[in-house]
C-alpha cells in the first residue's frame, strides 16, 4: 500500500469502490443530510442503501456474510461519506469497527455465526459499550459490574455516549464490565448483550452540538441477565481487547476526518469561484488562495498518515503509534479546515443549510471520540520510548 499513497494511484478495485461510494454520497446522502441534521433523525433510508451496497460487510470474510475486502476498503468508504455527512459516516464506522469487529476479532465460532451475518449485512447494528460517566479517557476506571449467577452474567451499571445503541435495528451491545479482581486491579471482561433484553434501557438520546443524525444514547443495565457463554473473548481480557479495537478504529476515524477535511476544501473551492467581491471572484484574492492551499495541504498530509497506518495494520506490523498520529493529525485537519471553510463562506458559512456549517459543528467531536488528542499524544510519546 505504501506504493500508492496517493488517491490517483489506487489499484482499480479500490478506485472503483471509492468512486461508487462517492457517487452514492453525492446522489443519495447529500440531498437529505441537511434534513436529517435539522430534524435530529436517524437516516434509515441511507443506512439501508449502504447495507444494499455491502458497506457494512467490507472488511469481513464472505463466510460471515462479508464482502471479502479489508480495513483499507472500509476507510476509503468512510472518507467519501465523511465529505458530505459525518453522521452517516460515523454510523458506518461504529457499526463495523465498534459493533461487528469485536465479535470477529474475539468471538467464538458460535458467536460469529450467530451475530456476524446480521451485522455485516447492515440489517442489524451493533454498539460498543465502553465509556462511562467517570471513565472517558480513563476507560480502565470501569464501574459497571457483571457477576455469575446460575449460568448467567448479571450486569449492573451504565454507559455514556454510545453510538448506534438505540435505533430500531440495534440488535447487540458489547459491554465492558468488572467481573472480578481487586479495586486496584479490576478484572474487566467483555459481554454480549442482545437487544432487547430485560433490564437494558437505551435512555433518551443526547441533544448534541453536531452529528445530529447519528444515534447516541446513555445506557443503563439493571440486573441484565445474559447466558454465561455471552462472554466475548477471555475473561479478564475485555479491556485489553477493546484497546486493540480502538487502535484499529482510530485509523477509521482518521479516514472519516480526512473526508471531512476534504469536503471543506471542495465546498470552499466551489464557493470561492462563484462568490465575487469588489469586482472579481474571491478565489482570486491571495488571502483566500493561501487559506485554500493550507486546507488542501492539511487534507493531503492527513490522508497520507492514515494510508500509512492502514498499510502497517494490513501487513501485520505494529501500528499503534501510526494510528494515533493519523487520528490526531486528521481530526485536527478536519477542525481547522471547517473553521477556515466557514470563514471563506462568510455569513453563509454560519447557516446550517450549508455543508461547511455542519462540518464546523460536527468536526469538534473528531478530536475527542475514540481517544482525545491528549490521549493520542500520550500514545505517541510512549511508543517513542519517552
* In a shared domain, residues 210 and 282: no
- The pLDDT score that the predictor gives to residue 7 is 47
- What is the distance, to the nearest Å, from the Cα of residue 75 to the centroid of all Cα atoms in its chain? 10
Say which CATH number the domain at 375 has. 1.20.140.10
Instruction: Average the pLDDT over 3-20 and give the result.
Output: 80
Secondary structure string (H, E, C) spanning 305-353: HHHHHHHHHHCCCCCHHHHHHHHHHHHHHHHHHHHHHHHHHHHHHHCCC
Domain boundary among 125, 155, 184: 125
* In a shared domain, residues 169 and 261: no
Look up 370 and say whether it is catalytic: yes
DSSP secondary structure letter of residue 208: -
Omega before residue 274 within 30° of 0, cis:
no
- The pLDDT score that the predictor gives to residue 9 is 79
More confident residue, 89 or 141: 89
- Tally of structural domains, the chain: 3
* In a shared domain, residues 116 and 130: no
- The pLDDT score that the predictor gives to residue 6 is 47
* In a shared domain, residues 105 and 200: no
Domain boundary among 200, 219, 236: 236
Say which CATH number the domain at 27 has. 1.10.540.10
- For residue 134, is pLDDT > 90? no
- The pLDDT score that the predictor gives to residue 136 is 65
Weakest-pLDDT range from 127-136, 189-198, 370-379:
127-136
Q: List the beta bridge partners of residue 188.
A: 178
Residue 217 grid cell: 444514547
Identified catalytic residue from 203, 370, 374, 383:
370
Domain boundary among 236, 255, 283: 236
For the chain, the maximum distance between any two Cα atoms, rounded to a whole number of angstroms, is 79
* In a shared domain, residues 69 and 143: no
320 in Cβ contact with 247 (< 8 Å) = yes
* In a shared domain, residues 29 and 156: no
- For residue 1, is pLDDT > 70? no
* In a shared domain, residues 350 and 282: yes
Question: Phi and psi dihedrals of 140, rounded to 5?
Answer: -75, -10
The vertex-251 CA angle with 170 and 7, nearest 5°, equals 115
* In a shared domain, residues 161 and 201: yes
pLDDT digits (tens, 9 = 90+) for 247-296: 999 999 999 999 999 999 999 999 999 999 999 999 999 999 999 999 99
Instruction: Average the pLDDT over 89-102 and give the result.
Output: 98
pLDDT band with cut points at 50, 70 and 90 for residue 3: low
* In a shared domain, residues 327 and 378: yes
- Rounded Cα distance between 1 and 23, Å, is 24
pLDDT digits (tens, 9 = 90+) for 137-171: 676 689 999 999 999 999 999 999 999 999 999 99
* In a shared domain, residues 119 and 11: yes
pLDDT band with cut points at 50, 70 and 90 for residue 2: very low
Instruction: Average the pLDDT over 178-194 and give the result.
Output: 94
**Measured between alpha carbons, how far apart are the two ends of the chain, in Å?**
29
Instruction: Average the pLDDT over 300-311 and give the result.
Output: 98
**124 burial type by CB count under 10 A (0-12 exposed, 13-18 middle, 19+ buried):** buried
* In a shared domain, residues 174 and 69: no
* In a shared domain, residues 118 and 154: no
Return mean pLDDT, the chain.
Answer: 95
Say which CATH number the domain at 228 has. 2.40.110.10
278: domain range?
239-383
- For residue 69, is pLDDT > 90? yes
What is the model's pTM? 0.95
Residue 256 grid cell: 472519516
Amino acid at each position: 500500500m505504501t506504493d500508492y499513497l496517493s488517491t490517483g494511484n489506487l489499484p482499480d478495485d479500490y478506485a472503483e469502490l471509492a468512486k461508487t461510494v462517492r457517487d452514492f454520497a453525492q446522489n443519495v446522502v447529500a440531498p437529505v443530510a441537511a434534513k436529517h441534521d435539522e430534524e435530529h433523525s436517524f437516516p434509515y433510508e441511507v443506512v439501508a442503501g449502504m447495507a444494499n451496497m455491502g458497506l457494512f460487510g467490507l472488511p469481513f470474510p464472505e463466510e460471515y456474510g462479508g464482502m471479502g475486502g479489508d480495513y483499507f476498503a472500509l476507510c476509503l468508504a468512510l472518507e467519501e461519506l465523511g465529505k458530505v455527512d459525518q453522521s452517516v459516516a460515523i454510523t458506518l464506522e461504529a457499526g463495523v469497527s465498534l459493533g461487528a469487529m469485536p465479535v470477529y476479532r474475539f468471538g467464538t465460532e458460535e458467536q460469529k455465526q450467530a451475530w456476524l451475518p446480521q451485522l455485516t449485512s447492515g440489517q442489524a447494528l451493533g454498539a460498543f459499550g465502553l465509556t462511562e460517566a467517570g471513565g472517558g479517557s480513563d476507560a480502565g476506571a470501569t464501574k459497571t459490574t457483571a457477576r455469575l449467577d446460575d449460568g448467567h452474567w448479571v450486569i449492573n451499571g451504565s454507559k455514556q455516549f454510545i453510538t448506534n445503541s438505540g435505533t430500531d435495528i440495534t440488535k447487540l451491545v458489547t459491554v465492558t464490565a468488572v467481573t472480578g479482581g481487586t479495586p486496584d486491579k479490576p478484572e474487566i471482561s467483555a459481554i454480549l448483550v442482545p437487544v432487547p433484553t430485560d433490564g437494558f434501557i437505551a435512555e433518551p438520546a443526547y441533544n448534541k452540538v453536531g452529528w445530529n443524525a447519528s444515534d447516541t444514547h446513555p445506557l443503563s443495565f439493571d440486573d441484565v441477565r445474559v447466558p454465561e457463554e455471552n462472554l466475548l473473548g477471555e475473561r479478564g481480557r475485555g479491556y485489553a481487547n477493546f484497546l486493540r479495537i480502538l487502535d484499529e478504529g482510530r485509523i477509521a476515524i482518521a479516514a472519516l476526518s480526512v473526508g471531512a477535511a476534504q469536503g471543506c476544501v471542495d465546498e470552499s473551492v466551489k464557493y470561492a469561484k462563484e462568490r465575487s467581491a469588489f469586482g472579481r471572484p474571491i478565489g482570486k484574492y491571495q488571502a483566500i488562495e493561501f487559506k485554500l492551499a493550507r486546507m488542501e495541504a492539511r487534507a493531503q498530509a492527513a490522508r497520507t498518515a492514515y494510508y500509512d497506518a492502514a498499510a502497517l495494520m494490513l501487513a501485520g506490523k505494529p501500528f499503534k503509534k501510526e494510528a494515533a498520529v493519523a487520528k490526531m493529525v486528521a481530526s485536527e485537519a478536519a477542525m481547522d479546515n471547517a473553521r477556515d471553510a466557514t470563514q471563506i463562506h462568510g455569513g453563509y458559512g454560519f447557516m446550517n443549510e450549508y455543508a461547511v456549517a455542519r462540518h464546523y459543528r460536527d468536526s469538534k467531536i473528531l478530536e475527542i471520540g475514540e481517544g482525545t488528542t491528549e490521549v493520542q499524544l500520550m500514545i505517541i510519546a510512549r511508543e517513542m520510548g519517552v
